[in-house]
């Protein structure tokens, strides 16, 4: 269970109404039962139920059961699309170990209104679901050109470009790759000015995800999977 509170030995956790309902009504836990908690920073902690009420409850942390598992230093930049598919992207990127999720506004981004709080909640749910102890940061939507203008010198960008061939040529195999980002464009493709800005950056490596043009959400899953396969993590 994710809690937005510090975790440590003897730390008392006050549950929200939703969490109390989930633990005591849905899971039918009672006083003394054990619960595993994480907050995205302190690894996994065992806690015991101190008080189980209808709409509230208290837990106390007993001991750490797993350290924080940091994912590789990989950011995902993507142009948001329709709401359900943007939700899917955040969920899958969390499962596939992206450390930071950065929605970008491009010239041809055509998306529903983005609720970052909802996307963050999806990332938390996905981390809970896959047993991770880390929750990726989800940034506010930023214009791509602005982001690229102050891009860190030492962070490479894997620009997924449907007009090329062979991701294997772009990525070194195995070992630690250092700081990277994967960039997936909008349904309408990148504007010429955006392509020129990307092509001029020494940090940018272009790669293909195969001969067929993938939907943006499929491309995210494919790119993160390929990147992970090359890193072996
Ligand atoms: N540019 C295309 C167009 O104008 O119809 C479609 C863009 S595609 C639906 C959305 C994004 O997915 C692209 O910008 C690219 O980043 C990524 N993508 C899709 N298929 C790809 C492929 N085979 N190789 C690399 N990237 C791909």
Q: Could you please report the per-residue DSSP string of 160-221?
A: E-TTS--HHHHSPPSS---SEEEEE--TT---HHHHHHHHT-TTEEEE---SSPPPHHHHHH
Q: Which of 215, 75, 71, 190 is nearest to 139 (CA)?
A: 75
Q: Are strands 44-52 and 156-160 parallel, antiparallel or unpaired?
A: unpaired
26 and 103 in one domain? no
Domain CATH for 43: 2.40.240.20
pTM for the full predicted model = 0.90
* Residue 48 sits in the same domain as residue 132: no
Distance 96 CA to ligand 1 centre (A): 20
- Ligand 1: does its nearest atom lie under 6 Å from the Cβ of 216? yes
56 plus 97 within the same structural domain: no
Q: Are residues 42 and 83 in the same domain?
A: no
Q: What is the pLDDT of residue 168?
A: 63
pLDDT at 221: 97
Ligand 1 pocket check for 209: Cβ under 6 Å: yes
| One domain, residues 178 and 142 | yes
Residue 54 Cα to ligand 1 midpoint, Å, equals 49
pLDDT at 132: 85
* Pocket of ligand 1 contains residue 219 by CB under 6 Å: yes
For ligand 1, atom 21, the nearest C-alpha belongs to: 162
Give the mean pLDDT per block of 10 residues along the chain (233 residues): 95 95 94 96 96 93 94 94 94 96 93 90 94 94 96 95 75 75 94 96 92 95 90 61
Model pLDDT, residue 98: 96
Whether 171 and 137 map to the same domain: the answer is: yes
161 part of a folded domain: yes
Q: Phi and psi at residue 141, in whole multiples of 5°?
A: -65, 130
Average pLDDT, the chain: 92
Identify the DSSP state of 125.
Answer: H
Which pLDDT does position 39 carry in this prediction? 95
Of 226, 212, 209, which Cα lies nearest the Cα of 165? 209
Does residue 1 lie within any of the structural domains? no
- For the CA of 186, the closest atom of ligand 1 is 10
* Residue 80: predicted pLDDT: 93
| Count of Cβ atoms closer than 10 Å to residue 169 Cβ | 11
Residue numbers of the domain that contains 171? 74-231
Q: Could you give the CA distance from residue 151 to residue 14 in angstroms, rounded to a whole number?
A: 40
């Amino acid at each position: 269970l994710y809690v937005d509170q510090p975790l440590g030995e003897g730390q008392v956790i006050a549950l929200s109404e939703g969490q109390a309902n989930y633990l005591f009504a849905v899971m039918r836990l009672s006083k003394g039962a054990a619960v595993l908690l994480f907050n995205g920073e302190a690894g996994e902690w065992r806690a015991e139920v101190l008080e189980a009420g209808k709409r509230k409850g208290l837990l106390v942390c007993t001991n750490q059961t797993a350290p924080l598992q940091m994912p590789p230093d990989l950011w995902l930049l993507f142009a948001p699309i329709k709401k359900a598919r943007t939700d899917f992207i955040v969920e899958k990127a969390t499962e596939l170990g992206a450390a930071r999720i950065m929605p970008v506004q491009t010239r041809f981004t055509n998306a529903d209104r983005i609720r970052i709080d909802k996307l963050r909640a999806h990332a938390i749910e996905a981390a809970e679901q896959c047993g991770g102890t880390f929750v990726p940061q989800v940034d506010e939507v930023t214009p791509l050109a602005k982001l690229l203008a102050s891009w860190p010198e030492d962070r490479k960008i894997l620009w997924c470009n449907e007009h090329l061939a062979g991701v294997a040529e772009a990525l070194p195999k195995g070992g630690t790759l250092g700081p990277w980002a994967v960039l997936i464009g909008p349904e309408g493709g990148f504007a010429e000015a955006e392509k020129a800005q990307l092509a001029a950056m020494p940090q940018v490596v272009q790669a293909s995800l195969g001969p067929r043009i993938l939907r943006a959400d499929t491309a995210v899953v494919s790119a993160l999977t390929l990147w992970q396969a090359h890193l072996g993590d």
